């Protein structure tokens, strides 16, 4: 980027900064949402909560289904990333 372009786009710097922060937050949230270890810990905690009577059967089934869907997506994403690494 040249000096002239830099000066002209300088007023947009705060917008670029906010955009970068938002992208970082979104990437971290996505990483945590689809982290297999995190999902497995949530499944374990779900079973413990059910065993202790903190949640009923329906809540356990609903939550388990959602967690298993996230786990499947996580595994698909991991497979695609491995495939991309092998291709590139």
28-66 pLDDT tens trace: 988 888 899 999 999 999 999 999 999 999 999 999 999
* Residue 84 pLDDT grade (very low, low, confident, very high; cuts 50, 70, 90): confident
Question: What proportion of the chain, given as a percentage, has pLDDT over 70?
Answer: 93
Mean pLDDT of 15-27: 87
CA torsion sign for 30, 35, 36, 41 is negative
On whether the pTM is more than 0.95, the answer is no
Q: Which long-range contacts (CB under 8 A, 24 or more apart) does 69-74 make?
A: 70/33, 70/34, 70/39, 71/36, 71/39, 71/40, 71/43, 73/34, 74/34, 74/35, 74/36, 74/39
Per-chain mean pLDDT for the chain: 88
d(CA 40, CA 70): 10
């Amino acid at each position: 980027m040249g000096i002239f372009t830099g000066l002209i786009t300088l007023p947009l710097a705060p917008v670029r900064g906010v955009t970068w922060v938002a992208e970082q937050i979104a990437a971290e949230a996505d990483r945590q949402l689809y982290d297999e270890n995190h999902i497995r810990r949530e499944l374990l905690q779900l079973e413990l909560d059910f065993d202790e009577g903190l949640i009923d059967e329906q809540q356990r089934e609903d939550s388990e289904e959602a967690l298993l869907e996230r786990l499947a997506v996580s595994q698909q994403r991991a497979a695609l990333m491995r495939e991309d690494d092998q291709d590139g």
